[in-house]
Amino acid sequence: MVNADIPDRTGGAAISAVGLRKNFAANTVLDNINLDIAPGAFVSIVGKSGCGKSTLLRLLIGLETPSAGTIASPALETGEARIVFQEPRLLPWARVAQNVEVGLGPRAARGDPAALEALTRVGLGARGADWPAQLSGGQRQRVALARALVSKPRLLALDEPLGALDALTRIEMQSLIEQVWRAQGFTALLVTHDVSEAVALGDRVLLIEDRGVALDLAVDLPRPRHRGDAALAAIEGRILDHLFRQPAAGAIPPGEAAETKPLRED
């Protein structure tokens, strides 16, 4: 199925990883990972807590150096990769608009109209003069998203950005992320512990297990996708089956796996 409504994706940056390995002391977290990610793709990375999915993400955008192997992406060479962390990581002593300006990099000018534009895109155009402490958790994460988007990155990494949010805010944020991805055309990498979120947003879902990519599924479904859609549920079921190695009879309802609290991986 080809989605005619998806805009030109030439703005996104491809990533290619060959023979990636990452050791922490004597412990090998990831080994022999080979990946080719198409420009503009939305790739979800799932796996159990501690499987190394966040490490893979951090490797792919150059936050960690691989113990072996290489990563190549035009976005890394030009500094056009951005990340949204699980915590908003806003500067509490800077106003919301100044926090977004941080995303413009060292040459940012105070009062750059791009900051307001990015804030408006995440629905917080009127909150630029507030302190981060005056916002709710979901709003702070939106500001973090605006900060990541303001420089128009070609690669956006999302490291469990919705893990700390309540269920309703999470659904809102998911559609916001999908909407900005469709509008700006960057390559998106989303690490999540929520399999249904991974399937709802990704063109492709990678399951990390035993130091490698255990499953690499294409999710070729039209957008926007509807929660509870049978085709989505089928893909979700396949991933969960693989994770728990149990028959598809629904011994573990998808929702339950999605609601388990994430453990910190770093």
Partner 1 sequence: MTADKPSPLAAALPWLMPLGLVALWQISASAGLLPARVLPAPSAVAEAGLRLVQSGDLQQNLAVSFLRAVAGLLIGGAIGFALGLMNGLSRLGETLLDPTLQMIRNVPHLALIPLVIVWFGIEESARVFLVALGVFFPIYLNTLHGIRNVDPQLVEMGRVYGMTPAALFARVILPGALPSIFVGLRYALGIMWLTLIVAETIAANSGIGHMAMQAREFMQTDVIVLSIVIYALLGKLADSATRLLERAFLSWNPAYAKA
Q: Which residues are near partner 1 by CB under 8 A? A: 63, 79, 82-83, 85, 87, 89, 91-94, 102-103, 105-106, 131-133, 147
Minimum CB separation of residue 163 from partner 1 in Å reads: 14
Gap between the Cα atoms of 112 and 101, Å rounded: 7
Taking the least distance from each CB to partner 1, the nearer of 132 and 202 is 132
CB 48 within 8 A of CB 209: yes
Q: Which two tokens stand for residue 110?
A: 């105070």
Gap between the Cα atoms of 145 and 164, Å rounded: 14
Minimum CB separation of residue 102 from partner 1 in Å reads: 5
Taking the least distance from each CB to partner 1, the nearer of 105 and 253 is 105
241 Rama sector, left if φ>0, alpha if ψ -120 to 50, beta otherwise? alpha
Minimum CB separation of residue 78 from partner 1 in Å reads: 11
CB 38 within 8 A of CB 216: no
Minimum CB separation of residue 224 from partner 1 in Å reads: 30
Gap between the Cα atoms of 253 and 239, Å rounded: 12
CA–CA distance from 250 to each of 75, 109, 244, 245, 246 (Å)?
41, 54, 11, 12, 9
Taking the least distance from each CB to partner 1, the nearer of 64 and 203 is 64
Minimum CB separation of residue 171 from partner 1 in Å reads: 26
CA–CA distance from 162 to each of 100, 120, 136, 258 (Å)?
19, 20, 13, 12
Taking the least distance from each CB to partner 1, the nearer of 132 and 138 is 132
Minimum CB separation of residue 87 from partner 1 in Å reads: 6
Taking alpha carbons only, the member of 169, 170, 153, 160 closest to residue 103 is: 153
Taking the least distance from each CB to partner 1, the nearer of 109 and 218 is 109
Taking the least distance from each CB to partner 1, the nearer of 79 and 255 is 79
